[in-house]
Structure 1
Amino acid sequence: MPVLRGKKPAVTAGSRIPKLTAAATENQEEGPQVKRSSSPPHGAPKKRTAFIDITNAHKVQISIPGRKKETGKRQVKKTSSASVPAKNQANLKKSSSVSSEGTPAEKEKSDAEEEAQRDVEAPVEELVAATPPAVREVPAHLQKQVIPKEFDIDSEDTEDCYMCPEYAKDIFDYLKKREEKFVLCNYMPKQPTLNPEMRAILIDWLVEVQENFELYHETLYLAVKMMDHYLSKTPVHRELLQLVGSTTMLIASKFEERSPPCVDDFLYICDDAYKREELISMEASILQALSFDINIPIPYRFLRRYAKCVNAGMDTLTLARYYCEMSLMEMEMVSERGSLLASACLLMALVTKDLGGWSPILQFHSGYQTSDLAPVVQKLHAMLSAPPDDKLKSIRNKYSHKVFFEVATLPLVNIDVLEKALSPRDVTPP
């Protein structure tokens, strides 16, 4: 929950991040809702009927063949003779020249001609209706993918409209394709005043911000992604690095959270090192650099999806989340696609919990084989086996709590066990 507006929460010793008080976590009552007046403001045009505005129904005249029309003036629609078949041009000229004020005999003659015309067109309509449906089949690229029954993980959510079971597979396939637009490389050589250690310290601080504000994990991952993309495009001085991190967290909060923290909250956690105008200006600069395309696929979403494939428990999923969150601080992992990183973290968690390796159902939904995961798994194991840095301990402390099953205290799986899990031959799903 974001902190209360207008009050600065108490600051814990040795940290710039405010510690949320009990009052800050309570639900706030919403203010009275103001009902909008249905009458237009003074000087505004009168409200017109929506049906008429949309369809111009007041200009439409329905003509029913065989029914005698009412006396009065009749508007004849001009029709180009080039667009009418040759066999109907004679009838068109006759009907165009007939006045609506003609004699009853002329009207009966017109009705008889319309009846004859319907008799001519009837066989054509029957022929069109008899056209086999194979001619109008759906194109191959629009046909829905057939999921084998043994790989179907969404049918159980048929009654839950929020899970979108009909489109879940298509959504994640789309996100996986969209990743190709956001592939990064090591951008640190473009930053003359920054280095990987500064980036790791900033992300460690952002994890602390996310935990104190009780933001979603998706907000943290999206903020880091936006920060990396911005730094890959724009040189930033080290004094503004914290401003970049807090601004991307603000943008991610607006994108992910139901009740995002306000600008003043982010200025406060920066110890008032920046002004409000600077943060707003940085927000505009980041959005322009990213072309306002901030819906970047993040590994956390793929991780939850793939864990569902094997019905992984919360302890196993949390262990994979710990590995994935630790990878955020590694510059070497910036270039890895989110879906591939999530798959490698889940495989490590499954092997650590002795729950098997990369099964065919995971291969079907992720699109990765064990040979694809091997390089990333080896990088993750080397990262986790390195001596911990005392300056970067927010993630380890976070996942050492009972709420997160104390997964950070679990021993790291042996590299030989991992290599054995990666060695089986890939099984191509049907």
Structure 2
Amino acid sequence: MALLRRPTGPAHPEEDISTKEESLCQAFSDALLCKMEDIDNEDWENPQLCSDYVKDIYQYLRQLEVLQSINPHFLDGREINGRMRAILVDWLVQVHSKFRLLQETLYMCVAIMDRFLQVQPVSRKKLQLVGITALLLASKYEEMFSPNIEDFVYITDNAYTSSQIREMETLILKELKFELGRPLPLHFLRRASKAGENLKQQYYTGYTENEVLDVMQHMAKNVVKVNENLTKFIAVKNKYASSKLLKISTIPQLNSKAIQELATPLMGRS
């Protein structure tokens, strides 16, 4: 009924129109919120889904994400560069698959590694040690049964001893103040997938399409580089080419025009 009420605002026509538009926009927003489907409504019988608290949990995760953010240029001026990190991550993906660990473990491993490298200068000789120790820590945090430390020594071809891994484990824990729990991409991906449609995704993730466009372009660029053999880092593609993961990296949509157009601004192509 408020929309039908005659406005009693300013005398100037331009201001009057502006007031009307603001009222209409607000009313439309309120209507959307009232009619927005509650994607957690049917989860009340499953205590693991925490339907009573899930919205507060994700709001907290968004805050924690900011507090534990990684500086995009955190390797600038360091002995370690982005290519070295990429080589390490590609190898860690293979190790993760060989050990058959949870997806959360891989995401946490990379997060621990990056957070440590951001605050602690590391030499080239110890970069792999940091990576494998981060995987050990993530395994202890996420897995029901973590691989033994001897397994991590073996997978590095005895490049490091168990004592060195334990020493690095202690150093990482001290630098991160034992704060390992953090929001992972997988957490937000599951939430966005559950929302499904564009409007619901925007509401439940808090991001508009324009706000995630840069990330989409970088992801598309990486997909194109892998598909056109422009990179040696193909562990992720090989991993998701398995039937266990539905061969998702081989679907034709990854070679679609939409992906090509998203990647174009970052590929130096016209």
Fold shared per TM-score above 0.5: yes
Q: Which AA in structure 2 matches 1:269?
A: I
Q: Pick from 375, 378, 383: which aligns with 2:214?
A: 375
The question of whether the paired residues in 2 share the 8 Å contact of 1:153 and 1:308 is answered with yes
- Spell out the pairing of 1:332-347 with structure 2 (5 A cutoff): none
- Spell out the pairing of 1:96-175 with structure 2 (5 A cutoff): 148=34, 150-175=36-61
Whole-Å Cα distance in 2 between the matches of residues 278 and 416 of structure 1?
44
SS for the counterpart of 1:188 is: coil
Cα 1:169–1:276 shift into 2, 3 Å: same
Whole-Å Cα distance in 2 between the matches of residues 221 and 162 of structure 1?
21
Q: Pick from 133, 149, 156: which aligns with 1:247?
A: 133
Whole-Å Cα distance in 1 between the matches of residues 260 and 138 of structure 2?
38
Q: Across the two proteins, how many residue pairs are aligned to each other? A: 225
Q: Which residue in the other structure is 1:400 paired with?
A: 241
Q: Which residue in the other structure is 1:277 paired with?
A: 163
Whole-Å Cα distance in 2 between the matches of residues 241 and 306 of structure 1?
34
Whole-Å Cα distance in 1 between the matches of residues 230 and 154 of structure 2?
27
Deviation at 1:275, TM superposition (A): 1.4
1:189 partnered with 2:28: no
CA RMSD of aligned residues (A): 1.9
Q: Which AA in structure 2 matches 1:187?
A: F
Cα 1:416–1:395 shift into 2, 3 Å: closer
The question of whether the paired residues in 2 share the 8 Å contact of 1:200 and 1:392 is answered with yes
Which has a greater percent of helix? 2
Q: Deviations over 1:14-45 (max 9, x none)?
A: xxxxxxxxxxxxxxxxxxxxxxxxxxxxxxxx
Structure with greater Cα Rg: 1
Task: Tell me which moved more, 397-406 or 242-251.
Answer: 397-406
The question of whether the paired residues in 1 share the 8 Å contact of 2:220 and 2:260 is answered with no
Q: Pick from 205, 220, 236: which aligns with 2:91?
A: 205
Q: Pick from 186, 190, 194: which aligns with 1:308?
A: 194
Deviation at 1:388, TM superposition (A): 3.1
Identical-pair percentage: 37
1:385 partnered with 2:219: no
Deviation at 1:383, TM superposition (A): 2.1
Whole-Å Cα distance in 1 between the matches of residues 240 and 189 of structure 2?
17
Runs of 5+ consecutive residues of structure 2 not aligned to the other structure: 1-32, 263-270
The question of whether the paired residues in 1 share the 8 Å contact of 2:74 and 2:118 is answered with yes
The question of whether the paired residues in 2 share the 8 Å contact of 1:306 and 1:366 is answered with yes
Q: Deviations over 1:291-335 (max 9, x none)?
A: 11111211011101110112xxxxxxxxxxxxxxxxxxxxxxxxx
